[in-house]
């Protein structure tokens, strides 16, 4: 039989849990506001750095995509010819001479043979 003076399981469960229902923390609100301000500052920095990056990208794009004048086109063409990369590459490898060894040995016809050929 239950002892009427002794609280039941459910009563003690409720009493025990309700003792931990609210735990006030001194200064907690100030800590939260400080954390929120810190986050707000970080967001401003991120927003400005994104804007700066976008502006820089636009600036570069304007410089790159601007229409070239005829003179600058000529200059670019000359510059390209001046640094013919295939020649530089062959020179670098020292392969210019070696390549002639690999080419098929074909005897070139003389001018007389060409002129005497049927149909010429």
Partner 1 sequence: MAQEEPTLPDDEDDKRLMALVAQGDDDALRLLVHRHHARLVGYLRGEVGSQATAEELAMEVFIRLHRAASRWRPEAKLSTYLIHIAHNLVLNEWRRRGRKPTTALEFAAEPGDASQQSARRVAELDEAFQRAIAQLPTEQRTAILLVVQQELPYEDIAAIMGVPVSSVKTWIHRARARLRELLKDFYADE
Q: Residue holding tokens 């005497």?
A: 116
The Cα–Cα gap between 82 and 115 comes to: 39
63's enclosing H/E stretch is: helix 28-65
Which of 23, 65, 82, 112 binds partner 1 (CB under 8 A)? It is: 23
Question: Which lies closer to partner 1 via its Cβ, residue 22 or residue 101?
Answer: 22
Q: Which stretch binds partner 1 (CB under 8 A): 20-28, 48-56, 58-66, 109-117?
A: 20-28
- The residues, ordered by sequence, that sit 6+ positions from 117 with a Cβ below 8 Å of its Cβ are 109
Draw the binding track, 32-71, toward partner 1 (x: CB under 8 A; -: no contact). Answer: xx-xxx-x--------------------------------
The Cα–Cα gap between 113 and 110 comes to: 5
Query: Considering the rule CB under 8 A, would residue 2 count as an interface residue with partner 1?
Result: yes
Question: Which lies closer to partner 1 via its Cβ, residue 18 or residue 120?
Answer: 18
């Amino acid at each position: 039989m239950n002892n009427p003076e002794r609280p039941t399981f459910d009563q003690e469960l409720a009493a025990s849990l309700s003792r931990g229902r609210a735990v006030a923390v001194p200064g907690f609100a100030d800590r939260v506001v400080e954390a929120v301000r810190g986050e707000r500052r970080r967001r401003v920095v991120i927003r400005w750095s994104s804007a700066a990056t976008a502006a820089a990208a636009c600036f570069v794009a304007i410089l790159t995509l601007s229409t070239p004048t005829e003179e600058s086109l000529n200059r670019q063409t000359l510059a390209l010819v001046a640094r013919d990369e295939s020649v530089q590459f062959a020179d670098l490898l020292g392969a210019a001479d070696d390549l002639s060894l690999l080419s098929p040995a074909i005897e070139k016809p003389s001018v007389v043979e060409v002129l005497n050929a049927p149909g010429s």
